[in-house]
Amino acid sequence: MALKKDLAVKLFPALLLATTALLPITAQAQAAPMAEEAGAEDGEAHPGIVVIGLTDSYRADTASGLRTPTPLIDVPQTVTVITREQLDDQGVTQLGDALRYVPGVVLAQGEGNRDQIVLRGQNTTADFFLNGLRDDTQYYRSLYNIERVEVLKGANALLFGRGGGGGVVNRVRKAPSLIGSAVGANAAVGTFGEFALSADINQPLGQSVGARITGTYEEFDNHRQDYSGRFIGVNPTLAFAPGPDTRIDLSYNYDNDRRIADRGVPSLGGLPLEGFRDTFFGRMDVNIAAAKAHIAEARLTQRLAAGLSLTLSGQYSHTDKFYGNVFPSGVVNAVTRTVALSAYDFTSLRESWIGQANLVWEGKTGPIGHTLLAGIEAADQSTRATRSEGDFGGSQFSVRVPLAQRITIPSVTFGGFSRSTDAKVRTLSAYVQDQIELAPFLQIVGGVRYDEFRISADNLLNTTPATRTAARTDRKWSPRAGVIVKPRSNVSLYGSYTRSFLPQSGDQFSALDATQATLAPESFTNLEVGAKWDLTPAFALTAAAYRLDRDNSRFNDPVTGLPLLSGKTRTRGIELSATGKILPEWQISLAYALQDGKVRSSTTAAPAGRSLALIPQSQIALWTRYDVTPKLGFGLGVTHQSSSYATVSNVVTLPAWTRVDTAVFYTLSKSVSVQINVNNLLNAEYFPNAHTDNNITTAQPRSARLAVRVAF
């Protein structure tokens, strides 16, 4: 710990010195946020142009994940948008940290190697998207090149296809501006010696060409023994506007992440193990999570006529992933004060091709208005994955060690593969949706999506050709219906019905066995009612109540041993939010979620009535900023979760917790600002999430982060 603090002390002066060196340069530049593209001489904007740089509010008017320019007040579902300004004020650089402030989203541990969330009671590692295109590899997602994060709640198969039972998370990438050059840089350092350097440069290359490059280098550290890591990310983008009605965007994204895979502490007596907040139950030479991701995207946006536009998108991604881990595999023995450990390593190589076309028409048939969306999507994904079990010597695949503040763990080796698969997924989809305005006070939404989902997988350990390959094809229709009543132009009341599906091989589709190949997909049905009220153009209130049923979950009959599709769960909840500017100098993001999730049918996994995992009954997330003067501002964050169960076993409880964060913002000049974020101000000791009953994350103690931001 002392070494980490010494490093932080050394980095603070270096950071301030670098900032001082920039002051003479920035003083000559005029500070101005990047603005929306001006467009043609008639004042109309080029199609597909989005605001880049800072916004002036935590509130967003629409979400690009909707694929139509529909205002959020006219969308019959809950949509939460985290703007770039809110991300910057909270000082977050990783997706998981940003999602802490979204009602109905609970972070899961993800075995210390990936983003994993529970969204309206549905645990997922795959319902993540980038610019509306699937980004489902298991890795950590940085926000250095992201303009905003959108969370669309409820079953979303119509827009996004399979999965998305509880909702999806869509990141929107920063895009080039064709007018006005701008340079931004950020440097930050934290209590434990972690630091981050990032840059964002936009430069027009002519009247119709613009370039933007974002990049970051981060080093991770925290309170845990032996924890470390680093992240490198770079994202060059180009934009072309050969005419006032045409825009082409090209992007290449390279992410390189390497960190210690930390799976937390075990349990004792039905609760997380107390008194070992810093103890690492792993080995530095084994617990390594590494991922390299290459994502290339091309997008054409073409205005075909007044009210009619076409968007064509294509994406290629290549992800190479490895992680190894030693982890607690059982509860602490209260008598012997020992804990069982196991180990395995896992590699995966995934390539994905996605093509998508969306046609949007805004117009009228007589007195009836329409916002019509029609689209097609095709995708091809291949995944090669292997797993090996850890041997602690003499074919011991588990070892029991004494409990101590620093655990002594025997060396471990990894032999032959326990699993080796080669899987291919191909999908072809078509969808249509119409939002019909029957009157100024009444709109209806209706649509349907058709998916053909093909998966085939080879078990490479199986040497019998006849049984080596398993395959299945599912053809599913996913409908959506909604009604919006607007007693006033700034108030809407809505009700909606949506369905989604998930094939039986899990959300990653890296393997398929003969049993899974015989089973129909799981289904999700979401019923939701809600209200939205835009009190001012900059401040909005939302409220929603929902019921989400998940059916066709698989389990084995305890008598015959044959698989059955009678697993059922139900999640019910209420979500409230207030977002935006209360006063010109006061912004707020306030959210509350009340939810309950239960198993509805008895299976070998759980009896009916048992609670679902990682669903706290209540969540509160507050973040607010108040600017005392044009130069000085203060921030306050409060997050609270009531108790929840670590898994569906309901054996281990994660106690309720409350965390308080603060921030101070100060503007040194038109181009330079400084902020200090203090997280967990009251030094609360709590356990925010888990992966199993014995992989439980410990919260970071009080820590500070100093950041200097330059923009000119």
Q: What is the largest CA-CA distance in the chain?
A: 80
Decide which of 33 and 511 is more confident.
Answer: 511
Is the pLDDT confidence value at 22 over 70? no
pLDDT for residue 304? 96
Question: Would you place residue 16 in the very low, low, confident or very high pLDDT band (cuts 50, 70, 90)?
Answer: very low
Lowest mean pLDDT of 97-101, 123-127, 562-566, 639-643, name the range: 562-566
Decide which of 553 and 95 is more confident.
Answer: 95
Distance of CA 551 to the CA centre of its chain: 24
pLDDT for residue 518? 85
Decide which of 56 and 470 is more confident.
Answer: 470
Q: What is the mean pLDDT of residues 563-574?
A: 82
Q: What is the mean pLDDT of residues 252-276?
A: 96
pLDDT tens across 304-355, in order?
999 999 999 999 999 999 999 999 999 999 999 999 999 999 999 999 999 9
Lowest mean pLDDT of 32-41, 391-400, 413-422, 518-527, name the range: 32-41
Rounded to an integer, what distance in angstroms lies between the CA atom of residue 126 and that of residue 33? 34
Four-point Cα dihedral 595, 601, 603, 606, nearest 10? 30
CB 134 within 8 A of CB 160: yes
Question: Would you place residue 40 in the very low, low, confident or very high pLDDT band (cuts 50, 70, 90)?
Answer: very low
pLDDT tens across 416-425, in order?
899 999 999 9
Q: What angle do CA 344, 350, 352 make, to 5 degrees?
A: 155
pLDDT for residue 208? 93
pLDDT for residue 694? 95
pLDDT tens across 365-374, in order?
999 999 999 9
What is the reported pTM? 0.90
pLDDT for residue 252? 98
Q: What is the mean pLDDT of residues 475-491?
A: 96
Is the pLDDT confidence value at 44 over 80? no
Rounded to an integer, what distance in angstroms lies between the CA atom of residue 256 and that of residue 229? 11
Distance of CA 200 to the CA centre of its chain: 22
Domain extents for the chain? 2-711
Distant-in-sequence, close-in-space partners of 179: CB < 8 Å, separation ≥ 6: 35, 37, 38, 204, 210
Q: What is the mean pLDDT of residues 241-270?
A: 96
Lowest mean pLDDT of 210-224, 369-383, 502-516, name the range: 502-516
Segment of 25-39, 202-216, 506-520 carrying the highest mean pLDDT? 202-216
Q: What is the 3-state secondary structure (H, E, C) of 409-474?
A: CCCCEEEEEEEEEEEEEEEEEEEEEEEEEEECCEEEEEEEEEEEEEEEEEECCCCCHHHHEEEEEE
pLDDT for residue 450? 97
Is the pLDDT confidence value at 176 over 50? yes
Is the pLDDT confidence value at 52 over 80? no
Is the pLDDT confidence value at 14 over 70? no
Q: What is the mean pLDDT of residues 180-199?
A: 95
Query: In the Cβ-directed half-sphere of 407, how many Cα atoms lie within 13 Å?
Result: 31
pLDDT tens across 64-113, in order?
999 999 999 999 999 999 999 999 999 999 999 999 989 889 999 999 99
pLDDT for residue 516? 84
Is the pLDDT confidence value at 5 over 60? no
pLDDT tens across 656-673, in order?
999 999 999 999 999 999
Rounded to an integer, what distance in angstroms lies between the CA atom of residue 117 and that of residue 455? 25
DSSP state of 11: H
Is the pLDDT confidence value at 559 over 60? no
Structure tokens at 239: 């934009």
Four-point Cα dihedral 20, 89, 538, 546, nearest 10? 160
Q: What is the mean pLDDT of residues 171-186?
A: 94
Lowest mean pLDDT of 47-51, 146-150, 628-632, name the range: 47-51
Rounded to an integer, what distance in angstroms lies between the CA atom of residue 201 and that of residue 263? 37
pLDDT tens across 425-446, in order?
999 999 999 999 999 999 999 9
Is the pLDDT confidence value at 623 over 60? yes
pLDDT for residue 512? 86
DSSP H helical ranges for 28-156: 84-90, 95-99
Question: Would you place residue 557 in the very low, low, confident or very high pLDDT band (cuts 50, 70, 90)?
Answer: low
pLDDT for residue 104? 87
Rounded to an integer, what distance in angstroms lies between the CA atom of residue 110 and that of residue 649? 18
pLDDT for residue 463? 87
Question: Would you place residue 130 in the very low, low, confident or very high pLDDT band (cuts 50, 70, 90)?
Answer: very high
Is the pLDDT confidence value at 27 over 70? no
Lowest mean pLDDT of 143-152, 337-346, 451-460, 501-510, name the range: 501-510
pLDDT for residue 48? 40
Q: How far is CA 621 from CA 162, 169, 624, 638, 640, in A?
A: 29, 18, 10, 6, 7
Question: Would you place residue 579 in the very low, low, confident or very high pLDDT band (cuts 50, 70, 90)?
Answer: very high
If phi > 0 it is left, if psi is from -120 to 50 it is alpha, else beta; for residue 9 that is alpha
pLDDT above 70 as % of the chain: 90
Question: Would you place residue 15 in the very low, low, confident or very high pLDDT band (cuts 50, 70, 90)?
Answer: very low
pLDDT for residue 562? 52
Average pLDDT over the chain, rounded to an integer: 89
Rounded to an integer, what distance in angstroms lies between the CA atom of residue 227 and that of residue 163? 33
Question: Would you place residue 564 in the very low, low, confident or very high pLDDT band (cuts 50, 70, 90)?
Answer: low
Is the pLDDT confidence value at 567 over 90? no
- As a CATH number, domain 2-711 is 2.40.170.20
Decide which of 6 and 493 is more confident.
Answer: 493
